[in-house]
Amino acid sequence: MVTAALTRARRIRVPLWELLDPRGHGPAMAWSAALALVAAVVARALGWPLWQASALAIGLMVPVFCAKWLADRRRFGGTVTVLGILVVLQGFHGLEHVVQWIQYHILRWPSFISSGLISAANAEWVHFVWNWGVAATVSWLLWRGMRNRWMWALLVWALAHGAEHTYMMVRYLQVLDEFRALGVSGVSAQGLPGFFGRDGWLATSPLTQETFLCRAPGVTTAVRLDVHFWWNIGETTLLLMAAHVQLRRTGPPSA
């Protein structure tokens, strides 16, 4: 009965899953994942910080993923492969935000320790570069013909997300400049509010003070960690929908 159900499930065609399927790299991927897990546990046991253990684990899996993507390029071409890479990397980026959310809301860690698996990467410039990287990649995919309404929505979302990170990045750099002018060193400006969320621009601007906007639930009340959790949940969801629709429309990757 279970076998029959699995057989039926395999017959349901999800082209995105076919793209992500490790195919011939399955055993290598499983082994590298197991090795990464063991290495991370040992590293933690040796007292490494979480982000170093996580980075080690990811590093151990990179070669296998690279091998798969090179094979994908030969099989599906560059555009589809880039879409696959984007899905994996944005998926991991989204996972980082999910981990932050769990650390803060479930594990009850302090907000500035709830930095995901690779806390060292929870830096203003990393988010800035990453989000503009996503927007640029989506633009390239559109240019390469991957056009559907989900992809367009993803572009709008990614541009808005990138714009908020630009606002935060600019403020971050301006505060560092102010620090230099004040002779302050060794103090980070990471974590300032952005456009949305609690204490963000929309909540504090004189332009919104007499309107409902300045205290709109969630939009101007959520903490920064929650705001960017939802940015990334939205971005990942739109990406998955765009990829799914596109791959269904253009036929199976294996075709």
Partner 1 sequence: MVRWRARWTGGLAALLLMTACGATPAPAAVDEPVAPVQLRAAALATPATCSAGFVPHALEHTTRSGAQVAAVYESNGAGVALGDLDGDGRDEVVLANLAGDASLLWNRGALRFARQALPVTQARAVAVVDVDADGRSDLVFTRRFEKPLWLRNTGLPGDARFSAQPLPDVNNTFYSMAWADLDDDGDLDLVAASYDAEQLKHQGQIFTQRGGIGVFVYWREGATFRAERLATAAEALAIALVDLDGDRRRDIWVGNDFNVRDQIWLRAGAGWRAGLPLDSMTENTMSLDWGDVDNDGQFEIFASDMKPVDKDVATMARWLPMMKKMTRPLTSDDPQHAENTLQIRGGDGRWRDQAYERRVDSSGWSWSAKFGDLDADGSLDLLVVNGMIARGLFDHLPGAELVEPNMAFRNRGDGSFVVAHDWRLGSTASGRGMSMGDLDGDGDLDVVVNNLESPAMLFENQLCGTRHLTVAPRMPGSANPLAVGARLTLRLTDATLVRELRSISGYLSGDPAAVHFGLPPGAVIGTLRIDWPDGRVSVLRDLAPGQHLQVAAPS
Min CB(213)–partner 1 separation in Å: 13
Which tokens go with 32?
């590298």
Query: Which residue do the tokens 């040796």 mark?
Result: 46
Distances (CA, A) of 111 to 52, 96, 107, 114: 20, 14, 11, 5
Q: Which is nearer to partner 1, 90 or 114 (CB)?
A: 114
Q: Which is nearer to partner 1, 104 or 130 (CB)?
A: 104
Residue 130's closest CA among 121, 120, 119? 121
Q: Which is nearer to partner 1, 188 or 254 (CB)?
A: 188
Asked whether the beta carbons of 137 and 81 are under 8 A apart, the reply is no
Min CB(226)–partner 1 separation in Å: 11
Min CB(123)–partner 1 separation in Å: 16
Interface with partner 1 by CB under 8 A: which residues? Answer: 104-105, 108-114, 171, 174-175, 178-179, 181-184, 187-189, 192-193, 198-201, 204, 209-210, 214-215, 221
Min CB(216)–partner 1 separation in Å: 11
Query: Which residue do the tokens 């029959």 mark?
Result: 4
Asked whether the beta carbons of 157 and 131 are under 8 A apart, the reply is no
Q: Which is nearer to partner 1, 43 or 227 (CB)?
A: 227
Give me the amino acid identity at 166: T
